[in-house]
Amino acid sequence: MQLFVIIVLLAIIGIVVTLYTLSLKEIRNIKNQLKKINGTKTNSKILATNSNKEIKGLIAEINKSIEEKQKSEAEHKNIDLEVRQAIANMSHDLRTPLTSIMGYIQLIEDDNIKEEERKQYLNIVKNRTKDLEGLISSFYDLSRLEGNEYKFNMASINISNVMCEVLGSFYNDFLRANINPIVEIDEKPYFIIGDEVAIKRVISNLIQNILRYGQGDVVFSLKKQEDTVITFFENTAKNLTKEDAEHLFDRFFTADRARTGKSTGLGLAITKQLVNQMGHEIKSELISDKLRITLIWKMIKEFK
Whole-structure pTM over 0.75, yes or no?
Answer: no
CATH superfamily membership of 155-303: Histidine kinase-like ATPase, C-terminal domain (3.30.565.10)
Burial 282-302 (b: 16+ CB within 10 A, else e): bbbebeeebbbbebebbbeee
Convert the pLDDT of each residue in 47-95 to its tens digit: 666 666 767 777 777 778 778 877 887 877 877 776 677 677 677 677 7
pLDDT per residue as tens digits for the range 228-274: 999 999 888 777 788 888 878 877 665 554 334 445 567 888 899 99
pLDDT for position 203: 92
Let me know if 127 is exposed, middle or buried by CB neighbors in 10 A (0-12, 13-18, 19+). Answer: middle
Amino acid letter, 284: S
d(Cα 108, Cα 112) in Å, to the nearest integer? Answer: 9
Write the single-letter amino acid at 104.
Answer: Y
Range of lowest pLDDT (41-50, 73-82, 166-175, 287-296): 41-50
89-146 has which fold?
Answer: Helix Hairpins (1.10.287)
Q: Which of 92-96, 127-131, 132-136, 275-279 has the lowest mean pLDDT?
A: 92-96
In the chain, where does DSSP find H-type helix?
2-39, 53-108, 115-146, 159-169, 171-176, 196-213, 242-246, 266-277
Question: Domain limits of the chain?
Answer: 2-74, 89-146, 155-303
Of 57 and 297, the structure prediction assigns the larger pLDDT to: 297
Please state, in angstroms and rounded to a whole number, the distance separating the CA atoms of residues 92 and 88.
6
Give 33's Cβ-side CA count (13 Å radius): 17
